[in-house]
Amino acid sequence: METITVELADRSYPIMIVDTLLSHRAKVSGYFGVGKVVVITNDAIARLYLDQVRSLLHDREVLEIVLPDGEQYKNLDAISHIYDELMVAKCDRKTTLLALGGGVVGDITGFAAATYQRGVNFVQVPTTLLAQVDSSVGGKTGVNHPAGKNMIGAFYQPQCVVVCTDLLKTLPIREVKAGLAEVIKYGLINRPDFFQWLANNSEGLLTLDSKLIAQAIKISCEAKAEIVAADEREGGVRALLNLGHTFGHAIETASGYGVLLHGEAVAMGMVMAADLSMRMGLLSAADALTIRFMLEEKFSMQVVPPADITVEKFMDLMASDKKAEQGKVRFILLKAIGRAYIEADVDIKLLKQTLTAGQNLCR
């Protein structure tokens, strides 16, 4: 077992990377407190892994809430349903909510935990690569609004995160690629050597080679834990984790929640961020093209956003992004591979060139 600690003083917690969910039962079970445990999952994950969680908690009083699967269900209706179930079961402040699923389940469960009786414990057991390397770590919780992604939520840290690599075996290749987009993001932000390592091992990572994927998860979690410890509530450096997300969230919202996976939209958004960085004279054309080649050729990801999203739609959605400050959109741009920075003063003319570039992004 590998253990990485998210250092947040008295709210610090471990990320435990294990091979199987039951291999460290005694250590994991210590984070569930003394009250009821409520497992929140979706119907697809329940069929695959709910029995393993029941075995993990065989000596506890366990309740289960099964939500429908899909980003389109990440809304206040899901939160209300969870509240109803918790109230009927007379769950108190000693209750622990266990998120068993991908980023959608994790975000919903975390927000429910942050707000039920003003806060109860929760534990993350992410089942997708994207959730294991990104959304389960750092305490961002919330739901979507029709006008924007993740607009309603709270910062609320889990008791622990249990990353089980065995759970990735049932992932479809589309989900694997979506997760690897977030892994690549860490290399682009501040780990150029990791970016090159990923390029060198793309084939094995796409086939979920056990040693390679465990190493990629470990480095990604270390990278995120370091940034979260420095800036928990995104007042500064944590914003770098949003590389590709300002464009990506707009793409997700415009496309309709659930049409694209989050990582797919982020891959498109990172190429758009590289393109804008190049147009602003910050990033070399060679580096911009390398980024596109990495995502499109090495990892077979779609990098061009849907053609039906107009410039006006992009501009409107980005202006409503939760990362905007005082009417200005904050972009995460690149000076080089491994050198990301925050920029709020972007030339609108150059931004519109990126938004209309289509197949010519980074070229």
CA distance 103 to 346: 30
Concerning whether 149 is annotated as a catalytic residue, the answer is no
Which among 149, 177, 245, 292 is annotated as catalytic? 245
Concerning whether 313 is annotated as a catalytic residue, the answer is no
Concerning whether 224 is annotated as a catalytic residue, the answer is yes
Concerning whether 60 is annotated as a catalytic residue, the answer is no
CA distance 239 to 221: 16
Which among 149, 262, 279, 330 is annotated as catalytic? 262
Which among 36, 177, 185, 238 is annotated as catalytic? 238
Which among 71, 175, 182, 232 is annotated as catalytic? 182
Which among 90, 118, 169, 349 is annotated as catalytic? 118
Distance of CA 10 to the CA centre of its chain: 24
Place of tokens 């445990």: 37
Distance of CA 12 to the CA centre of its chain: 20
Which among 177, 185, 224, 292 is annotated as catalytic? 224
Concerning whether 118 is annotated as a catalytic residue, the answer is yes
Q: Is the alpha carbon torsion for 76, 77, 81, 87 positive or negative?
A: positive
Concerning whether 191 is annotated as a catalytic residue, the answer is no
Which among 249, 279, 298, 330 is annotated as catalytic? 249
Decide: residue 62, CB within 10 A, 0-12 exposed, 13-18 middle, 19+ buried.
Answer: middle
Q: List helix spans (H) across the chain.
A: 25-29, 43-56, 76-88, 103-115, 129-130, 173-190, 192-200, 202-206, 210-230, 245-255, 262-279, 285-293, 311-319, 348-356
Concerning whether 312 is annotated as a catalytic residue, the answer is no
Which among 140, 292, 298, 330 is annotated as catalytic? 140
Concerning whether 249 is annotated as a catalytic residue, the answer is yes
200 and 54 in contact (C-beta within 8 Å)?
A: no
Which among 177, 232, 242, 292 is annotated as catalytic? 242
Catalytic site residues? 118, 140, 182, 224, 234, 238, 242, 245, 249, 262
